[in-house]
């Protein structure tokens, strides 16, 4: 009886194993993961694939996998070919329906992903296109043969382009609209920090498209030039705040580097909606409207006198168009000597004394006339003072809809021809239609977690902690872990304004702060740490907090 049961159990296990193997997805084939194949897989299937080398022609001539056809897209120029011309080009590479296509480049590059995109966009089924993971570098490292002998032209293929996949391509009008809708769209910039922050430029202006998220193509590769795992790519997306429900628009200078995030998000992590902006910054900057271009990641948290004077006019306030509160954080005595019209005096000491008690602070702000749905423009003696930064930090924690800091001092405001008044701003419900006093507001805080934290170990980010000592002097208490010194004074100009984005990038990275980190700022005086918080926000760091040391 036991032998019969043993035999029955063995048959059951064998049956389950066979069933599991039969239902395993095709991507589980050894050496193949989704649209990626490794060297061993290619060596085994080389005879039954069309092998395309997407490297630039000089690299192909210097050495390529035997049998690889050169498919250098740069050789054809930047102008988009007609459908007939593209069909002829693809056929010249020997591409026919039903035959597997393997694309490669030098490894850790952008040419293979761009060629993959072109084939896919022109209708080739994704199931027939693969990328050699690690490219030629990986092929060489694993002993693959390389030749300089030209590959004879293959027999002309028979693939016909019958339809274009327009759903994976974004055009300028949609891209422009997406730039202003961060809730539903994410603009991924595949260029590196030197371009993003304005140190280098391809065209007439340096910087990036407004609200673009820096995610360089190099971030998707390991040191051996293979792609990072889907789990690691998802980790980067979570860190940058890119959500599955958003439409991702990948772009760069001319639409080549952008193909790397497009491929990784579309075929590795299966982001539901991913599009490539082929024309990219080249078209954006040539638009006759002179579309805006930024160097800081969040320049809207800085305001200038001309902007504030324009939006703070009595007529705009009378019609409810202004939608802003000016919060003057100077002492009451200085405020009384002269202030901007309609400015509300909430001294910096009020924010300091309520540090860590945001609900109590909210109870004071509403009666003072601060509306949580409006933009708060913070004004101090001169630019980004510790008091102004502390107020900025407090409003961020409270969940204020928009917060900015006026970069001009009170003296500069007057010198620019803008008026000052000594009359206190009237706060109260308007008595007549012409009464433009600042109405009392009900301030309901929408607290943002992890802006101000109570201890160095109170939070856990996607990446390891880096503590940044931000005060003028070395702090009395220093947490355990990686600590770097970056006094806030190094990040500001003499007039209290932040230095240029390209300079800030160098100062921050040279201090030892990586792009991927949970950045925790601290100082003996939290107002000094708050200045660095403002600067890191200006530069677009995704995960930055202040520890009230």
C-alpha torsion angle, residues 26, 144, 96, 87 (rounded to 10): 120
pTM value is 0.92
Q: Is the pLDDT of residue 6 over 80?
A: no
Length of the chain: 549
Q: How far apart are CA 109 and CA 226, in angstroms?
A: 10
pLDDT the model gives residue 24: 36
Q: Is the pLDDT of residue 117 over 70?
A: yes
Confidence grade of residue 409 (pLDDT, cut at 50, 70, 90): confident
pLDDT the model gives residue 432: 64
Q: Per-residue DSSP letters for 297-308?
A: S-GGGEE-HHHH
Q: What is the pLDDT of residues 439-452, one digit of tens each?
A: 999 999 999 999 99
Q: How far apart are CA 170 and CA 20, in angstroms?
A: 40
Percent of the chain whose pLDDT exceeds 90: 87
pLDDT the model gives residue 169: 98
Q: Is the pLDDT of residue 134 over 60?
A: yes
In terms of DSSP H, where are the helices of 68-151?
A: 83-92, 111-121, 135-141
pLDDT the model gives residue 435: 62
Helix (H, G, I), strand (E, B) or coil at 261: helix
Helix (H, G, I), strand (E, B) or coil at 67: coil
Helix (H) or strand (E) holding 379: strand 375-379
pLDDT the model gives residue 463: 98
Q: What is the pLDDT of residues 357-399, one digit of tens each?
A: 999 999 999 999 999 999 999 999 988 999 999 999 999 999 9
Confidence grade of residue 349 (pLDDT, cut at 50, 70, 90): very high
Q: Is the pLDDT of residue 466 over 90?
A: yes
pLDDT the model gives residue 16: 37
Question: 362: which 2 tokens?
Answer: 């909210």
Question: Which residues make Cβ contacts (< 8 Å) with residue 273, sequence separation at least 6?
Answer: 246, 247, 248
- Supply the DSSP symbol for 542: S
Confidence grade of residue 434 (pLDDT, cut at 50, 70, 90): low
pLDDT the model gives residue 437: 86
Nearest to 217 by CA among 263, 158, 159, 273: 263
Q: Give mean pLDDT, residues 164-169.
A: 98
Q: How far apart are CA 299 and CA 310, in angstroms?
A: 18
Q: What is the pLDDT of residues 144-161, one digit of tens each?
A: 999 999 999 999 999 999
* Strand-pair partners of 294: 208
Q: Is the pLDDT of residue 20 over 90?
A: no
Q: Answer yes or no: are the C-beta atoms of 224 and 246 closer than 8 Å.
A: no
* Residue 532: Cβ within 10 Å count: 26
The sign of the torsion formed by the CA atoms of 69, 73, 79, 83 equals positive
Burial class for 254, CB neighbours closer than 10 Å (0-12, 13-18, 19+): middle
Q: Per-residue DSSP letters for 110-133?
A: SHHHHHHHHHHHTT--GGGEEEET
Nearest to 182 by CA among 269, 297, 259: 297
Q: Is the pLDDT of residue 14 over 70?
A: no
Q: Would you report the helix, strand and coil content of the chain in percent, each value rounded to 5?
A: 40, 15, 45
**Which single residue is written with the structure tokens 């693959």?**
144
Percent of the chain whose pLDDT exceeds 70: 94
Name the average pLDDT for the chain. Answer: 93
Q: Is the pLDDT of residue 102 over 90?
A: yes
Q: How far apart are CA 141 and CA 134, in angstroms?
A: 10
pLDDT the model gives residue 50: 98
Confidence grade of residue 77 (pLDDT, cut at 50, 70, 90): confident
Q: Give mean pLDDT, residues 523-545.
A: 98
Q: What is the pLDDT of residues 227-279, one digit of tens each?
A: 999 999 999 999 999 999 999 999 999 999 999 999 999 999 999 999 999 99
pLDDT the model gives residue 436: 73
pLDDT the model gives residue 224: 97
pLDDT the model gives residue 78: 74
Q: Is the pLDDT of residue 28 over 50?
A: no
Q: Is the pLDDT of residue 40 over 70?
A: yes
Residue 493 phi/psi, 5-degree rounding, is: -75, 175
Q: How far apart are CA 535 and CA 296, in angstroms?
A: 10
pLDDT the model gives residue 429: 78
pLDDT the model gives residue 216: 98
How far, CA to CA in Å, does 218 sit from each of 189, 222, 225, 414? 12, 9, 9, 48
Q: How far apart are CA 538 and CA 297, in angstroms?
A: 6
């Amino acid at each position: 009886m036991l032998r019969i049961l043993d035999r029955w159990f063995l048959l059951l296990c064998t049956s389950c194993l066979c069933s599991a193997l039969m239902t395993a997805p095709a991507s589980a084939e050894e050496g193949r993961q989704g649209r990626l194949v490794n060297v061993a897989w290619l060596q085994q299937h080389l005879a039954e694939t069309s092998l395309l080398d997407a490297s630039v022609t000089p690299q192909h001539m210097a050495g390529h996998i035997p049998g690889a056809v050169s498919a250098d897209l740069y050789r054809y120029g930047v102008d988009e070919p007609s459908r007939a011309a593209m069909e002829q080009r693809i056929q010249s590479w020997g591409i026919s329906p039903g035959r597997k296509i393997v694309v490669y480049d030098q490894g850790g590059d952008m040419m293979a992903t761009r060629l993959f995109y072109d084939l896919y966009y022109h209708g080739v089924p994704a199931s027939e296109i693969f990328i050699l993971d690690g490219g030629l570098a990986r092929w060489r490292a694993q002993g693959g043969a390389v030749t300089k002998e030209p590959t004879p032209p293959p027999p002309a293929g028979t693939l016909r382009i019958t339809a274009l996949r327009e759903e994976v391509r974004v055009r300028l009008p949609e891209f422009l609209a997406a730039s202003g809708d961060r809730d539903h769209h994410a603009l991924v910039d595949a260029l590196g920090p030197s371009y993003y922050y304005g140190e280098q430029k391809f065209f007439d202006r340096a910087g990036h498209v407004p609200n673009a998220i820096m995610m360089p193509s190099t971030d998707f590769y390991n040191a051996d030039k293979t792609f990072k795992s889907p789990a690691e790519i998802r980790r980067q997306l979570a860190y940058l705040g890119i959500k599955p429900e958003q439409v991702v628009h990948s772009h760069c200078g001319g639409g080549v580097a952008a193909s790397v995030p497009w491929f990784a998000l579309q075929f590795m992590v299966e982001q539901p909606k991913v599009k490539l902006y082929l024309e990219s910054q080249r078209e954006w900057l040539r638009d006759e409207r002179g579309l805006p271009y930024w160097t800081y990641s969040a320049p809207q948290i800085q305001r200038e006198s001309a902007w504030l004077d324009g939006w703070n006019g009595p007529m705009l306030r009378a019609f409810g168009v202004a939608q802003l509160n000016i919060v003057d954080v100077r002492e009451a005595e200085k405020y009384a000597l002269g202030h901007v019209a309609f400015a509300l005096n909430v001294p910096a000491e009020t924010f300091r004394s309520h540090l860590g008690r945001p609900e109590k602070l909210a109870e004071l702000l509403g009666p003072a006339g601060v509306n949580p749905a409006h933009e708060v423009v913070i004004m101090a003696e001169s630019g980004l003072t510790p008091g102004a930064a502390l107020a900025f930090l407090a409003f961020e924690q409270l969940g204020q809809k928009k917060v900015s800091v006026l970069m001009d001092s009170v003296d500069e405001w007057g010198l620019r021809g803008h008026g000052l008044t000594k009359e206190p701003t009237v706060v109260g419900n308007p008595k007549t239609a012409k009464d433009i006093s600042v109405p009392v507001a009900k301030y309901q805080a929408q607290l943002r977690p992890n802006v101000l934290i109570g201890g160095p170990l109170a939070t856990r980010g996607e990446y390891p902690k880096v503590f940044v000592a931000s005060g003028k002097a070395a702090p009395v208490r220093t947490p355990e872990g990686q600590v770097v010194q970056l006094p806030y004074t190094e990040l500001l100009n003499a007039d209290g304004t932040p230095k240029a984005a390209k300079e800030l990038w160098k100062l921050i990275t040279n201090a030892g702060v990586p792009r991927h980190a949970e950045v925790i700022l601290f100082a003996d005086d939290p107002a000094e740490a708050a200045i660095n918080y403002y600067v890191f926000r200006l530069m677009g760091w995704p995960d930055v907090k202040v520890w009230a040391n």
